[in-house]
Structure 1
Amino acid sequence: MAISKKNKNRVTVGGKEYLWWVFDEYDQTTFDGIQIKAVCSDQTHFIKYGLQQEEDDRKLVLALKDYIQLVFLSSPPKFEDSKGIITKSGIIRMIEWCKQDIHQIQYALNGNNNNLNETEKQVLLKEIQKNNLNKNH
């Protein structure tokens, strides 16, 4: 199913185009309040990030489109400015940050298995990164 480009911003990182938007939602999503969703234009994966998170509990979600595989990455830097506004450069930094080799993983899900050990979590993250973030189509 295609994603409407209406009211969405575009950014290209590593040869992949992402559509991103800001929305405000409570009780229905990972983050309550104002958040970002960046979806790869080939719809293989997406990134979600809540704006103005507490520094000691900041996280980001990297997931495949169908939520079958996902990781909650702990301790990302703040991608928005001091006023809580995220710009195109913040989105680029967010996507590039997800490509880094080492991440602290708070939670991971691979199919129905959410009881992964630390090694399995890192393997899952590498698989998502390799097959989605780093591959040009």
Structure 2
Amino acid sequence: MTISKKNKNRTSVDGKEYLWWVFDEYDQTEFDGIQIKAVCSDQTHFIKYGLQQEEDNRKVVLALKDYAKLVHLSSPPKFENDKGIITKSGINKLVRWCKQDVHQIQYALDGNSNNLTEIERQLLLKDLQKIIK
């Protein structure tokens, strides 16, 4: 299924194009309120980030398009500016941050299993990172 490009922004990070948009949603996603979703143009994966999260509880979600595999990464920096607005450069920083080697994993899901050991969580993250690199 294709994603409509209407009302979406585009950016390219290390040769991969992402469509991204801001939306406001409650009780349906990992974040309540204003958030962004950046979907790779090949639709293999996406990244979600809630704007204006509390610093001590900030997270990023990295997932395959069908949610079969996902990780919640803890302690990202703030990608929006002081007014709570995220720009193309903030999206680029977000994608590059997800590619870094070291992350704290707050939650992980591999298929139907979410009871993963720390080693399994790190291996899952590495699998996801291979897709985004």
TM-score computed with the length of structure 1 as normaliser: 0.96
Counterpart of 2:4 in structure 1 is 4
Distance 2:28 2:67 in 1: 15
- Could you tell me which residue of structure 1 aligns to residue 54 of structure 2? 54
1:133 maps to amino acid:
I
Partner of 2:132: 133
Q: For the residues of structure 2 that align with 1:10 and 1:27, how far apart are their CA atoms?
A: 27
1:24: Cα distance to partner? 0.5
Secondary structure in structure 2 of the residue aligned to 1:19: strand
CA distance in 2, matches of 1:79, 1:94: 7
Q: CA deviation at 1:77?
A: 0.3
Unaligned runs of 5+ in 2: none
Whole-Å separation in 1 of the counterparts to 2:11 and 2:118 = 32
Deviation at 1:29, TM superposition (A): 1.0
How many equivalent residue pairs? Answer: 133
**AA in 2 matched with 1:36:** I
Post-superposition offset of 1:56: 0.3
CA distance in 1, matches of 2:27, 2:109: 20
Alignment deviations for residues 47-69 of structure 1 (CA, whole Å, 9 cap, x no partner): 00000000000000000000000
Match of 1:109 in 2: 109
- Tell me the C-alpha RMSD between the 2 structures: 0.4
**Identity fraction in percent:** 78
Cα deviation digits, residues 51-101 of structure 1 (max 9, x gap):
000000000000000000000000000000011000000000000000000
Secondary structure in structure 1 of the residue aligned to 2:94? helix
1:97 aligns with 2:110: no
The aligned amino acid for 1:29 is T
Letter in structure 2 aligned against 1:78: K
Q: TM-score, normalised by structure 2?
A: 0.99
Distance in 2, Cα, partners of 1:28 & 1:69: 18
The 2-side partners of 1:55 and 1:109 are apart by 24
Q: 3-state DSSP class of the match of 1:39?
A: strand
Aligned residue for 1:19? 19
Structure 1 unaligned segments of length 5 or more: list them.
Answer: none
Query: Helix, strand or coil for the counterpart of 1:18?
Result: strand
